[in-house]
Amino acid sequence: MKILVPVKRVVDANIKVRVKADGTGVETQNVKMSMNPFCEIAVEEALRLKEAGKATEIIAVSCGPVQCQETIRTALAMGADRGVLVETDVPLEPLAIAKLLKAVAEKEQPGLILLGKQAIDNDCNQTGQMLSALLGWGQATFVSKLAVEADHVEATREVDGGLEVVKARLPAVVTVDLRLNEPRYASLPNIMKAKKKPIEIFKPEALGVDVTPRVIVLKVVEPAKRNAGVKVPDVATLVAKLRTEAKVI
């Protein structure tokens, strides 16, 4: 079984995000970029499935500018077998990415698509669900435990009320949550090997997908600064402030 793992290039999770002076977006020039943390978890789970004999090939796919090859190489260094890049400089929305992934999936015919539940740059949490609908495949989202059998997956989902266990027939789309696993570090030999692994490059037009944005970003602004907190000497003073100043009780 092939496993397709979409990976996204985002601003590194340890970097403080800054808004551009003109308010058109987030500053990415001279900023460290990395693989989306949820995508790392998806890659790790695919690798574990292959090591357990449940998968035969892992394909890392990314959509975006040419620099996304670095993100694919990271996945290859972790242990993925080959990569696919859908190269475009057009800002991609979740629906456009889902359509591109659908086209790649139809070409590769994977038995399972594993992807992060969301990206930390836009927090949309939409691509996996849209991809499932476009393909007509079953889906399991926010997965914290995954078991793959011959013809189905059994997934433990994190929901508001606790945990939910669902089954989905293969092929399926699974979006992963933080508690699924701990991604491995790529070893130096694997990093060197990754440089020789193939990356196939397509344009959206070659896949028959229109990625023209449907949403126009009018302005991006920094979150409002929070006021400093105040220490109070006792509970009575706290209650009085909540009643007279905050007016929440």
Q: Enumerate domains of the chain plus CATH numbers.
A: 2-244 (3.40.50.620)
pLDDT digits (tens, 9 = 90+) for 78-131: 999 999 999 999 999 999 999 999 999 999 999 999 999 999 998 999 999 999
The beta strand positions in the chain, using DSSP E, are 2-6, 9-11, 33-35, 57-64, 82-87, 112-116, 138-148, 152-159, 162-169, 172-176, 199-202
pLDDT digits (tens, 9 = 90+) for 38-71: 999 999 999 999 999 999 999 999 999 999 999 9
Average pLDDT over residues 151-155: 94
Distance of CA 50 to the CA centre of its chain: 20
Burial (CB < 10 A; 0-12, 13-18, 19+), residue 90, is middle
Where residue 206 falls among pLDDT bands split at 50, 70, 90? very high
| pLDDT at 54 (0 to 100) | 93
Q: How far is CA 245 from CA 145, 226, 234, 239, 248, in A?
A: 46, 16, 16, 10, 8
Residue 217 clears pLDDT 90, i.e. is over it: no
Distance of CA 219 to the CA centre of its chain: 24
| pLDDT at 77 (0 to 100) | 96
| pLDDT at 73 (0 to 100) | 96
Q: Please give the single-letter amino acid code of residue 41.
A: I
pLDDT digits (tens, 9 = 90+) for 157-190: 988 888 999 999 999 999 999 999 999 998 999 9
Where residue 9 falls among pLDDT bands split at 50, 70, 90? very high
| pLDDT at 89 (0 to 100) | 92
- Measured in degrees and rounded to the nearest 5, phi and psi for residue 239 equal -60, -40
What average pLDDT does the chain have? 93
Q: How far is CA 22 from CA 10, 18, 192, in A?
A: 21, 12, 40
